[in-house]
Structure 1
Amino acid sequence: MNFYRFCNKVFNRLFHLKFSFYSSLISPIITFLARCRGIDMGKCKFYGSTIIIRKDGSTITIGDGCRFRSLSDSNLIGINHKCIISTQTSDAKLTIGKNCGFSGTTIGCFSSISIGDNVRCGANTLINDADWHLDDSRTTKPKPIVIEENVWLGYGVVVMKGVTIGANSIIGVNSVVTADIPENSIAVGIPCKVIKKLK
């Protein structure tokens, strides 16, 4: 092994160790603070500080093994902001299953958002079950979102209110999901449409 290969291997190892070390320090703190605020959180890993806001009366449940990447270089595709998870009404219900991954993902729950096990949310994804400005007469009521198990949302995907994404489906980069996507599908576009079925 020549000198440059050795140096590169050391650099790459140190780069990854940095995140593991940082996560081992911050994850217990974020988990403890979340539980103190009435959030039902399993054992999760946090790479950077995730913003979690729970409206009084609402519920947030997060399963074991989830990973939240908020540092800009903790996902090499590029993260442009921290993970932000919030419930905005007193009767909102947000449920996240086990072993899910989030990179700079924003989840805004006004009614109900259910995310199954083993869901991957690529960098800078957005999941909203409402139009946010509920006092504006041009908006409509919040509608529940269901993302079933083993779904993969690509970079920059936006999931809009009232949508169900079926199990094992893949949503392509920068797509906007405005209608239901059946299970075992590859879907892309604005608005997002199925282009292929998975066997």
Structure 2
Amino acid sequence: MKMLARTMQSWLRSGAPSTFARLFRLLYGASNVRIGSNFRCDSLPRCLIDPGAQLDIGDNVEFRSGVELRVHGKARLVIEDDVRIDRGVRILAANESVVRIGAGARIGLYSVLNGGDCIDVGEKSLISGFVYLQSSMHRFANSGAAIKDQGYDHGPVSLGQGAWLAAHVVIMPGRNVGANAIVGSNAVVTEDVEPGMIVAGVPAKPISSSRV
């Protein structure tokens, strides 16, 4: 029994990611889907890709279990080389948006990238767990109508190279976080964050003007 358990653990560590990656290629291989070399995944990702949309996964990309990718309309989702996406992450690209995850970036567990408009995640940036990047928001101009019937406003979101979003951060539509900036846990970013700035709070405010 111990030998069987060790064999199963070994397969889960090394065999399962390559097996699920082969299944993923078989199920989602199409002219609008490109999957680079050495792709690995702990379980079969859930993908919804419209015929007019594009999914581009680079080399040496790793998904943990429960990742969901949705690419709708004429949108494009680009996951560059050496990206690691943790358990339960959901990435949506819709309308005509481009959602790009830059090379070497890391996305923590159960984070959501909601790309009704463009989202750009810079190279080697860090997104911790339970982070929300929101590029669209329900309108609420007419107080006499249900919120769900009022449509959406959109604004692109960007995260600069080498930046770090700590756990439970929310980035609101139209906001930019500069290169090497840090956003503290539970912060809500309602204004642009300058490169190298450290911010925290609700709404997020600067607590340091330079990295230390």
TM-score if structure 2 supplies the norm length?
0.72
- The reply to whether residue 41 of structure 1 matches residue 48 of structure 2 is no
**Match in the other structure for 1:111:** 117
**Match in the other structure for 1:148:** 160
| 1:93 Cα offset (Å) | 1.4
**Residues 186 and 53 of structure 1: is their aligned pair in 2 closer, same or farther, counting only changes over 3 Å?**
same
**Match in the other structure for 2:77:** 60
Q: Check the 8 A contact 2:185/2:200 in 1, yes or no.
A: yes
> Segments of 4+ in structure 1 off by > 6 A?
14-17
Task: Give runs of aligned pairs for residues 52-91 of structure 1, distance below 5 A.
Answer: 52-70=69-87, 82-89=88-95, 91=96
Letter in 1 for 2:99: L
Of 130, 139, 158 in structure 1, the residue corresponding to residue 136 of structure 2 is 130
**Match in the other structure for 2:208:** 196
| 1:105 Cα offset (Å) | 1.3
Letter in 2 for 1:45: E
Q: What is the alpha-carbon root mean square deviation over aligned residues?
A: 2.6
Unaligned runs of 5+ in 1: 1-10, 71-81
**Distance between the aligned counterparts of 1:84 and 1:166, measured in 2?**
23
Q: Check the 8 A contact 2:168/2:185 in 1, yes or no.
A: yes
SS at match of 1:99: coil
| 1:18 Cα offset (Å) | 4.9
SS at match of 1:26: helix
Identity of aligned residues (%): 21
**Distance between the aligned counterparts of 2:107 and 2:10, measured in 1?**
18
Aligned residues between the structures: 174
Letter in 2 for 1:143: G
| 1:136 Cα offset (Å) | 3.9
Unaligned runs of 5+ in 2: 1-5, 35-48, 140-146
Q: Deviations over 1:158-195 (max 9, x none)?
A: 11101010100111011111110000011101001110
**Residues 174 and 59 of structure 1: is their aligned pair in 2 closer, same or farther, counting only changes over 3 Å?**
same
Q: Deviations over 1:106-156 (max 9, x none)?
A: 00111211111011110111101011578643x662011111100100011
